[in-house]
């Protein structure tokens, strides 16, 4: 009986799981495939990591994210044709992140202009047609920008490529009005000779005036760190600016 009471007390005093605090945030998704049909995982937690591998390791794919840091990553590999019975010539991995953001610091309704930047780094190698793609979308304002890097169709097996680029979008929103951003990446590999592809995207918000910060449902923060954003819950924040 004493042990039961002790376990109950520990459970009652334990902090709520991180997923509970994010349950009202928009859903994100990781989709993976290695030789076969894709498997997709939807979630509302700020952090997630998924892996997929075929029997014998002929193909693998991976996706992960940390939305508090504005970071998403994906990579995939396929062995190509080994023999007639062991062929894997395609693999894909994608991470589609969505989060609700709001401007804090100035009086509610104050218009703030800023720039959203998604930094892209990665590479790919193999033959045939493979690609790395990225999307930055302001779902509230209904505007988007995209990036794509392709390997050309080739008979050879030594084609390589790299990515070091950025997506940028200028926005203007009033303080206290939530807006939804989506940032997604995809590595797609089709390589008869085998190959790999990887892409990393890092979200940044720049150009904010002094005393202004942007925070999100998932805990991302940018701007003037003098603004006490981390001590305010997302629910209280929305009430404060309502």
Cα–Cα distance, 53 to 65 (Å, whole number): 19
Give the model's confidence band at 112: pLDDT under 50 very low, under 70 low, under 90 confident, else very high.
Answer: very high
Q: Tell me the average pLDDT across 149-160.
A: 70
Q: How far apart are CA 237 and CA 70, in angstroms?
A: 20
| 60-97: b (≥16 Cβ within 10 Å) or e | bbbbbbbbbebbbbbbbbbbbeeeeeeebbbbbbbbbb
Report which of 131, 126, 124 is spatially closest to residue 194, judged by C-alpha positions.
126
**Segment holding 68, helix H or strand E:** none
- Answer with the residue of higher pLDDT: 143 or 225: 143
- Between 105 and 161, where is the model more confident? 105
Cβ-Cβ contacts under 8 Å for 119 (sequence gap 6 or more) = 166, 201, 202, 204
Winning range, highest mean pLDDT, from 12-16, 50-54, 129-133, 210-214? 210-214
Higher-confidence residue of 26 and 196: namely 26
Other C-beta atoms within 10 Å of 144: how many?
13
Q: Are 60 and 77 in contact (CB under 8 A)?
A: yes
User: Is 50 exceeded by the pLDDT of residue 168?
Assistant: yes
Structure tokens at 33: 């495939």
pLDDT of 203: 98
| pLDDT at residue 56, as a whole number | 63
pTM for the full model? 0.81
Tens digits of residue pLDDT in 132-143:
999 999 999 999
């Amino acid at each position: 009986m004493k042990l039961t009471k002790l376990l109950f007390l520990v459970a009652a005093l334990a902090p709520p799981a991180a997923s509970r605090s994010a349950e009202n945030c928009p859903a994100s998704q990781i989709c993976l495939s290695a030789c076969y049909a894709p498997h997709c995982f939807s979630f509302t937690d700020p952090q997630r990591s998924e892996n997929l591998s075929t029997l014998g390791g002929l193909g693998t794919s991976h996706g992960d994210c940390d939305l508090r840091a504005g970071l998403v990553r994906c990579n995939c590999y396929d062995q190509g044709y080994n023999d007639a019975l062991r062929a894997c010539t395609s693999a894909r991995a994608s991470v589609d992140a969505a989060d609700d953001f709001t401007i804090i610091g100035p009086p509610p309704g104050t218009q703030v202009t800023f720039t959203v930047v998604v930094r892209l780094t990665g590479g790919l190698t193999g033959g045939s047609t493979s690609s790395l793609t990225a999307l930055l979308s302001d779902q509230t304002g209904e505007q988007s920008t995209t990036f794509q890097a392709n390997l050309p169709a080739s008979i050879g097996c030594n084609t390589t490529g790299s990515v070091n680029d950025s997506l940028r979008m200028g926005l203007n929103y009033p303080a206290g009005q939530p807006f939804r951003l989506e940032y997604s990446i995809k590595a797609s590999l089709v390589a008869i000779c085998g190959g790999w592809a990887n892409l990393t995207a890092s979200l940044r918000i720049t150009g904010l005036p002094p005393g202004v910060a942007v925070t999100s449902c998932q805990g991302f923060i940018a701007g003037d760190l003098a603004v006490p954003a981390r001590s305010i819950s997302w629910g209280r924040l929305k009430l404060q600016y309502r």
